[in-house]
Amino acid sequence: MADEVVVETETQEQRSARAREIMSRLRRMYPDARCSLNFSTPHELLVATVLSAQCTDERVNQVTATLFKKYRSPQDFAIADLAELEQDIKSTGFYRNKAKLVRDGARTIVERFHGEVPRTMAELTKIPGAARKTANVVLGNAYGVVDGVVVDTHVGRVSRRLELTSNEDPVKVEQDLMRLLPQEDWLAFSHCVIYHGRAICQARKPLCEQCDLLDLCPTGQATLALATDGVSESKAKDASRNSRARTRK
């Protein structure tokens, strides 16, 4: 008689319980996790977040240390000479597009919101350069308003490796995480996962053998199990999914 393959699928409740345990451990691992961008006002954080696209937070902090002394308010950015602003932020990369977003965003804040960065997702996402990720950063860290999960490259990558989501689109990843975690954990989860992505779960070579989440990470377990065979991470992910199937005679 042919073997019967029974696939054991993790239920939403089981995945949510695993996500909560992951969050609990992350809090212990990174008790001081916070936003890595330096800012003193909501608008400074908005500008810094726009500049952080495809750039390290360390580089952004170096640039804004001078930038925020030169431009002290949305009004200052709104009347900035575009070519000059481009040079001021050049080292962050993609500086022409970023300069335009920063100036246009400042003009929108001045003209539509009386010079104040708005406090709602609906209003913030009307500002040039402020999609959901940027809006979540500003709302959560500048105003203490947690409306969603910040999904940057680290959060997306680590969440997929932990199999908390299978989506690539950041908005869909955010929706998956919001379903798994209580709202009071959303902001802390992003901070902790970003720290973890930098320290352990790195893009090119995750340090799975050093990870305190290994027993909760199907991809990490499969990666280590197959490492001696020189198997790639993508194949390890496939193996982690297949490991949920058991053969019954």
32 carries an active-site annotation: no
Q: What are the phi and psi torsion angles at 206 (to 5°)?
A: -65, 140
Give the Cα separation of 170 and 189 in Å (integer): 15
> How is residue 48 written in tokens?
């810094």
Burial (Cβ within 10 Å: 0-12, 13-18, ≥19) of residue 130: buried
Query: Which of the residues 133, 147, 176, 185 is marked catalytic?
Result: 133
- Among the listed residues 88, 147, 152, 185, the single catalytic one is 152
Q: Catalytic annotation on 237?
A: no
CA 127 vs. chain centroid, Å, equals 20
CA 100-102-108 angle, 5° bins: 100
Residue in the structure block whose two tokens are 């300069």: 99
Q: What residues act catalytically?
A: 133, 152
